[in-house]
Amino acid sequence: MKTLFSGVQPSGIPTIGNYLGAYKQFTELQHEYDSYFCIVDQHAITVPQDRLKLRENTKTLAAIYLASGLDPEKITLFVQSEVSAHAKAAWMLQSVTYIGELERMTQYKDKARKQSAKEGINAGLLTYPTLMAADILLYGASIVPVGDDQNQHLELTRTLAERFNNRYNDIFTVPEVKLPEVGGRIMSLNEPTKKMSKSDDNAKSYISLLDNPKTAAKKIRSAVTDSGSEIRFDKENKPGISNLLVIYSGLTGQSIKDLEAEYEGKSYGEFKTALGEVVESFLTDFQERVNEYVESGRIDDILDEGRERASRKADKMVEKMERAMGLGRKR
Ligand code: TYM
């Protein structure tokens, strides 16, 4: 069975964008692959975090992963900082990464701009993609389901895997990215030309998976729409309505074509009220499952077991990397 790897940062509560871009794919693919899912807390500290909040979010994120429909008996769910192989492999990979490659990453450029306005840019922000490459390569993952914004990081991961294989020893699987058919880039509700993000200062721009369902429906009803009145998918000219169509399609499985036909001649208001109801009922069910996991008291056991399984696999790869690079003594 081939291996799948993906990760989500505990830097806040995930949004409906994270759900449609990532979690939904995880659930669909979990049975086809030996699947590793990671709560990437070492990535999260590349921007300032409150330490207590970070720990709380780490546990909540585990419940959210599981509530999305992952089967804890089948998959491996773990916390990145609890598996020391990640930091070790990232360090080794830094030696095969060029600074220019890291400086070209658009996520780095965006975040660096924000950080430099306040303080210096920390080095972790720059080397973030080598840690991400380590995450993936340690498990020999052949597939990595993510949203569109991670595509560039995946390209770099592939480059680093090939470079290491050529320079040292052919030990890494070169992974393929898996983007969702619909929902790879969910946009902000009030600025639909910008990506929806859990770290946006304006809470009206995103729907958090733990938002009160009624408040979330209201956010949909007040989402920015476009000029005209037709409910039609046209990203260029109708970014607001197109984004809402994608969310509707992603949550219900109805195709965008069918939705356009269903809402032909109807107003934006009617469409948004209907989508508000879809979102409200989705969140109500989702949050019920999150609470069931939190109350079950099983999360720590699942993460403990995940740490053991992940460490066993990742430690073996670290040993291979060290051997290939000549680190330590002969074993
Ligand atoms: P993160 O935590 O920002 O996001 C988690 C996942 O959600 C996707 N996503 C979106 N999808 C659709 N629309 C959006 N608006 C949206 N926003 C986020 C992301 O593409 C991602 O799949 N660097 C990664 C975490 C990571 C990782 C890894 C992922 C670390 N190591 C190894 C895969 C493999 C990140 O910051 O994701």
Q: What is the pLDDT of residue 241?
A: 97
Per-residue pLDDT band for 86 (boundaries 50, 70, 90) equals: very high
Active site residue 218: no
Which alpha helices (H) appear in the chain, and where do they start and end? 16-18, 24-29, 41-44, 51-67, 85-94, 99-103, 106-118, 123-138, 151-167, 213-221, 239-252, 256-262, 268-296, 299-325
Task: Identify the burial level of 165 via C-beta atoms within 10 angstroms of its C-beta, where 0-12 means exposed, 13-18 middle and 19 or more buried.
Answer: middle
Per-residue pLDDT band for 220 (boundaries 50, 70, 90) equals: very high
Q: Which atom of ligand 1 is nearest to the CA of 8?
A: 2
Average pLDDT, the chain: 96
- DSSP secondary structure string, 84-114? THHHHHHHHHHTT--HHHHHT-HHHHHHHHH
* Side-chain half-sphere CA neighbours of 279 within 13 A: 32
Neighbours of 69 (CB within 10 A): 14
Which listed residue (88, 178, 195, 272) is catalytic? 195
Active site residue 2: no
Query: What is the rounded CA–CA span in Å between residue 55 and residue 38?
Result: 14
52: CA distance to ligand 1 center in Å? Answer: 22
Q: What is the pLDDT of residue 118?
A: 80
* Residue in this structure with the two tokens 């859990």, named with its chain if needed: 198
Active site residue 198: yes
Q: Is the pLDDT reported for residue 115 higher than 90?
A: no
Per-residue pLDDT band for 116 (boundaries 50, 70, 90) equals: confident
Evaluate whether ipTM surpasses 0.95: yes
DSSP bridge pairs for 7:
38
Decide if 34 contacts 3 (C-beta within 8 A).
Answer: yes
State mean pLDDT over 138-146. Answer: 98
DSSP bridge pairs for 78:
38
Report pLDDT digits (tens) over 224-277.
998 889 999 999 999 999 999 999 999 999 999 999 999 999 999 999 999 999
Q: Kindly report the CA angle at 30 between 25 and 32, in degrees rounded to 5? A: 110
Neighbours of 221 (CB within 10 A): 14
Q: What is the pLDDT of residue 117?
A: 78
Please name each of the domains of the chain with its CATH number.
3-183+297-325 (3.40.50.620), 213-291 (1.10.240.10)
CB 195 near ligand 1, within 6 Å = yes
State mean pLDDT over 78-82. Answer: 98
* Side-chain half-sphere CA neighbours of 197 within 13 A: 14
**Joined tokens for residue 98:** 């060029």
State mean pLDDT over 186-205. Answer: 94
Cα distance between the two ends of the chain: 29
* Side-chain half-sphere CA neighbours of 318 within 13 A: 17
Report pLDDT digits (tens) over 31-73.
999 999 999 999 999 999 999 999 999 999 999 999 999 999 9
State mean pLDDT over 121-148. Answer: 97
Would the pTM count as exceeding 0.95? yes
Q: Is the pLDDT reported for residue 145 higher than 90?
A: yes
State mean pLDDT over 275-302. Answer: 97
Query: What is the rounded CA–CA span in Å between residue 279 and residue 269?
Result: 15
CB 185 near ligand 1, within 6 Å = yes
State mean pLDDT over 202-223. Answer: 97
* Residues 270-275: contacts with CB under 8 Å, at least 24 apart: 271/231, 271/241, 271/244, 272/220, 272/221, 272/223, 272/225, 272/244, 273/221, 274/248, 275/220, 275/244, 275/247, 275/248
Q: What is the pLDDT of residue 331?
A: 64
CB 230 near ligand 1, within 6 Å = no
Residues contacting 20, CB < 8 A, separation 6+? 180, 182, 183, 186, 246, 247, 250, 251
State mean pLDDT over 1-9. Answer: 98
**Joined tokens for residue 17:** 């964008």
Per-residue pLDDT band for 114 (boundaries 50, 70, 90) equals: confident
